[in-house]
Amino acid sequence: MLIRKSPDIRPSEITSETNYLNRRQFLQSSALAGGSLLAGSAMSAVVPDTPMAELSGVIPGDYSTTETPNSIEDIVTYNNYYEFGTGKDDPYRNSQDFKAHPWTIEVDGHAEITGTFDIEDFVNPHTLEERIYRMRCVEAWSMVIPWVGIPLVDIIKRFKPTSDAKYVRFETLHDRARMPGQRRGSLEWPYREGLTIAEATNPLPMLVVGVYGHSLPNQNGAPLRLIVPWKYGFKGIKGIVKMSFVSRQPVNSWQMAASNEYGFYANVNPTVRHPRWSQARERRIGAGFFAEKQETLMFNGYGEHVAHLYDGLDLRRNF
C-alpha cells in the first residue's frame, strides 16, 4: 500500500536542511517568524512575506506517502518554471530577487463570491496541512515532496461556484519586468492551466504555500501554486494570480505549445506513448548514479482516489 497517513516524524521537523536555501533570506525571515508565530493559530493560515520562513500551525494531512522525501536542495534547484528560464537551475538562479508580496488573486466567473483578494485573505480562513506527495514530471523524472497548503476543494467551496462552473482555470502572473523568462517567446504568457470541477473538488489537489514546513521559495511558485499529484508536473501552475470558474474546457499552456504531446488531462499514464520520453518508467531524483529507474504507476499511484473521475473516458485519446 503506497498511500498512508503521515509518518510520525514530519519532514517539516527536519529543519537543518532548509537552511541550505538562500541563507540571506532565511536569516531575514527568521526575524519575522516570531511575529507570525503569535499571529498563527490552527484555524488561520499565515503566509510569511519572504520565502523559506517557517510556517506555523501546520497540521499533518491525509494521503501522504511514506516514501522518503527528496532533499530540500533537490527540490529548490531542479525546477521547470519557464517564467525564470528554461534550464533546470534557471528558476533557482533567476528568481531570487522576485518579490512575491504583496500579492493578489482574482477570482471570477461562475461563482457566487468573486473579487480580488490579498493572498493573506485568500488563505487565512483555512488550516495549513502538510502532505507528502509524489511528483512525476512529463520529462520522466520524479521526486517526493512535503508540500504545505490547503485542499483546493476547501477553497473552491468558499467561493460557491454555480452549476455553470464546469472547469476551474488558473493563470500565472504575467509581468515581464519581474519574470525575465517572459521577455522572450517560449510559451505563450501568461501560463495557464485548468481542471474539471470534479478534479478540482477531489480531495487530493492542493493550493500550496510552502514546502518542508517553510513558505515557498520563489522558484517553486511563491506565493501560491497548484499541486495535482496524479497528473504530470506541468499541471501544477505556479505564481497563481487568477482563478476562474468557467463553463468551457480551458486550453492549458503546454497544450497550446504542442497539442500532440501535451493534453488537457495530462494524467500520469505509463501506457500513453510520448515522442520524447518513455512514460513507462521514471528516474527518482536523488536516488544516485547507479539507481535503476522505477516503473511509473498509473495516475502516479493515486488511482484509488481518482480513477473513478475518468469512468468511460478513453485515457489514451484524452491524454
Partner 1 sequence: MDTLTQIRRVWKPLLFITCLIPAILVVTDAFEITGRLGANPIEEIQDRFGYWGLRFIMIALAVTPLRHMTGWNWLIRFRRMLGLFAFFYVLNHFLVWLLLDQRLLMSAILEDIVERPFITIGFTAFLLLIAMASTSTLALRRRLGRRWQQLHNSVYVVGLLGVWHYWWQVKLDIREPLVYAAVLAVLLGHRVWYRYKHRPTPRA
Q: Which residue ranges make up the site for partner 1 (CB under 8 A)?
A: 73-74, 77-78, 82, 86, 88-89, 139, 141, 186-187, 257-258, 273, 275-278, 280-281, 283, 285-286, 289-290, 292-293
Give the nearest distance from C-beta 257 to partner 1 in angstroms.
6
Q: With respect to partner 1, which residue has the nearer C-beta, 68 or 116?
A: 68
Give the nearest distance from C-beta 183 to partner 1 in angstroms.
13
Q: With respect to partner 1, which residue has the nearer C-beta, 117 or 254?
A: 254
Give the nearest distance from C-beta 284 to partner 1 in angstroms.
10
Q: With respect to partner 1, which residue has the nearer C-beta, 7 or 286?
A: 286
Q: At 265, which amino acid appears? A: Y
Give the nearest distance from C-beta 71 to partner 1 in angstroms.
9
Q: With respect to partner 1, which residue has the nearer C-beta, 64 or 70?
A: 70
Q: With respect to partner 1, which residue has the nearer C-beta, 101 or 283?
A: 283
Look-up of cell digits 468558499: 158
Give the nearest distance from C-beta 119 to partner 1 in angstroms.
28
